Structure 1
Amino acid sequence: MSAVAGTADRTGTGADGDLARRVADADWASLAGELDAYGCALTPRLLTPEQCAEIAGLYDREELFRTTVDMARHRFGSGQYRYFTHDLPEPVAALRAALYPRLLTVARDWAARLGRPAPWPDSLDDWLADCHAAGQDRSAQILLRYGEGDWNALHRDVFGDMVFPLQVVIGLDAYGTDYTGGEFLLVEQRPRAQSRGTARVLEQGHGLVFTTRDRPVRSARGWSAGAMRHGVSVVRSGRRRALGLVFHDAA
């Protein structure tokens, strides 16, 4: 039986242990530097092509999801995504758990620079319990599916007052082979200046860490918050699927 079906070993061996090791082996100091500079950073490969295909294949299992969103209907762009229930498949839960403590270090550093509270405890479970106590109790983990001509408008995944400042999207298809176009977009709104854009190819199995709403920007008066939004450019051909990991829940 596959890890997706819920049989991965939680003791540090098996699929979950492999995922945790891949996350741990990333150069997090370098990634933190890229996040500081651009608001996003690409990790090494976290999922094998086989694992990517297995997760992408979950999209048609309706019992795994709490809702489906048609982006064109809501004028979010074009394409579709589904929110998982809280009963996450093993690799999704394992990746989220492994990534949280790595991102927590950056989150606390950013909060200190911006003079903001850092309400995030060491434990992801404790943080999610805080979200639920505040009325944000719906899963925000998503599978996204884009076809030719689809795109995602610039937006932020902020669902209430409880916000974790970083999130991760993982490519499930091979750029240039399975699809073209569909680059990840990040746009920074700069005060008294034109906006600055960044485009990144989402490589299969790699995670792109990016800011949920802003990043610290050095100014003459110290640090200020550079507001940022993200989206996806038009898919020119093929099918682009991705896994989105958000570290706060939705209201």
Structure 2
Amino acid sequence: MNMPALGIGTWQIRPETVEAIVPVALEAGFRHIDTAQIYRNEDAVGKAVAESGVARDEVFLTTKVWVDRYAPDDLLASVHESLERLQTDYVDLLLLHWPVFEGHGMNPTLEALMRARSDGLARHIGISNFNIDQTEQAVAFCGNGMLSASQVEYHVYLAQERLRCVLARYDLVMTAYMPLAQANCVNDPVLWEIGSQYDKTAPQVALRWLIEQDRVAAIPATSNPHHAKANIEIFDFALSVEDRQRIAELDRGMRLCKPEGLAPEWDD
């Protein structure tokens, strides 16, 4: 799966703002956009990409199926609806948003997800917010090589070491949402001190630390054009081994996204 290491997230961004920020991001060099059915901004993403002048096959599009559309027939119908909103025939990556399966269980939903791939609605498929046990169940059912990615909260304050090892074992890309820990990184003195050596900001250091890791991508969300441009300016420097270790030591198990009724029993 040829997923760009850095993408732009659209969680909690209003449609009109998405229409404004996506063209800025594409012009700055982003080629990876993440959305979801529940974000209610797929229309805006589709419109912005279509009007950007950037060819569709140059943009890696991810969307996520919401939990109320997990019944097998409904899942496929929901994907067709997403594609219509996104003004495209396929998405590059289709994810199950949360591991909440109610009465019909995980396997029928995974089977429908694989059907979306075999039908050409999605180039790649994956999971989101699954814990280790759920990840292993999903891989066991789908088979090695079928799932391509797992999108989870991951940042300098939440190490996710055990999950990262499991994902690496199954060759799944870890896509980090909230990679700046909802702006907690912005005021971190250690990140600023490290950044001063490279003429970079604390957020840029935090993002660089993520994408330097094998099979890790990051999707910072922003409604600020200046921040979008700054976020992608992280490919002209590399952190030293010592700096990477200092950043790793910032971990404090700080999980920010844990919605009641959706979140599984986490492993950390």
TM tier, shorter chain? under 0.3
Between structures 1 and 2, the one with greater helix share: 2
Task: Select the structure with the greater relative contact order (CA < 8 A; seq sep ≥ 6).
Answer: 1
Which structure's residues are more often strand, by fraction?
Answer: 1
Query: TM-score, normalising length from structure 2?
Result: 0.27
Q: TM-score, normalized by length of structure 1?
A: 0.28
